[in-house]
Amino acid sequence: MGGGDGEDSREGDVIRRLGVIGDPVAHSISPAIQGAALRETGFVATYERWHTPAADLPGRIADLRAPDVLGANVTVPHKQAVISLLDAVQPFAQRAGAVNTIIHHGERLIGDNTDIEGFGTALAAACPDVAGRAAVVLGAGGAARAVVLALEQAGADPITVANRDPARAAALATALAPSVVATAGVDLETLRELLGEARLLVNATSVGWHGDDLPIPADLLAALPADAVLIDLTYRDTALLRAARDRGLAAHDGLAMLVYQGARAFTLWTGMDAPVEAMFAAARRAREG
């Protein structure tokens, strides 16, 4: 199932393999980011896009056991489904119920969640005084779970999750209790009240990846305090980010999270310090291209 368009660093005849598993993955800029890290460090490996429909996921994970495979990233929609196919899952990934990085260690496949550290590092740069801030997270998928755990570590309080699907919000609240207050199917007025107390708003939904759709009506942003910080995990300039900036709010996209989680994954696979600046430069070029 391997192969694909990727970035590589070659030396001699030994080429170890890495890749990103998802459906779709054609849009992923992870090959550019990891390719830059491989070239900068001289580590000999390839990094490819591995398009994997759900029916092919067990076979894809079995392929990771090949001796030349170091591991993989996992993206939507497989971050939760992949867990049952692994030999072990690190505690934070287990609590999040989502794996975005697989490490081939010996004969075992170990799942981890570098999104937590990635968001936490990006958050510290965007909002150094997180502790004590009330936070609202939009969404209840794997990315939202990683965000909540990073917010918990940073001391945000309270953390409220707003999601359209009551069942998913309830599942998240159960898994991450007592660090989160889930608000499922809230009406706009309730959401306006929540935002009035929030000094941090994170969009962890997929709304905004394409077109100018908004996860919440733009006028609700007026409810946020003037010193509120908005972070959209999407690594493009979304309509939500533009609307926030129009209201004078500090607004940040998800590129930093993507790079920092990739840097942590690189270290887990190779044992080397990640060349973060080179990875950022490659990410910016790939986004613009």
Active site residues: 79
Q: Can you state the angle between helices 276-288 and 30-41, rounded to 10 degrees?
A: 140
The alpha carbon of 271 is separated from its chain's Cα centroid by a whole number of angstroms, namely 21
Locate 28 and state its tokens.
């992923």
Q: Report residue 23 as tokens.
A: 């459906």
Quote the CA–CA distance of 269 and 212 in Å, as a whole number. Answer: 37
- Distance in angstroms between the alpha carbons of the first and the last residue of the chain: 27
Report yes or no: 234 and 254 within 8 Å, Cβ to Cβ. yes
Cα separation, 289 vs 284, in Å, equals 9
Contact 241, 214 (CB under 8 A): no
How distant, in Å, are the alpha carbons of 39, 138, 172 from that of 273?
Answer: 13, 33, 33
Compute the radius of gyration of the chain from its Cα atoms: 19
Q: From CA 117, how far away is CA 142, in angstroms rounded?
A: 14
CA distance 146 to 159: 13
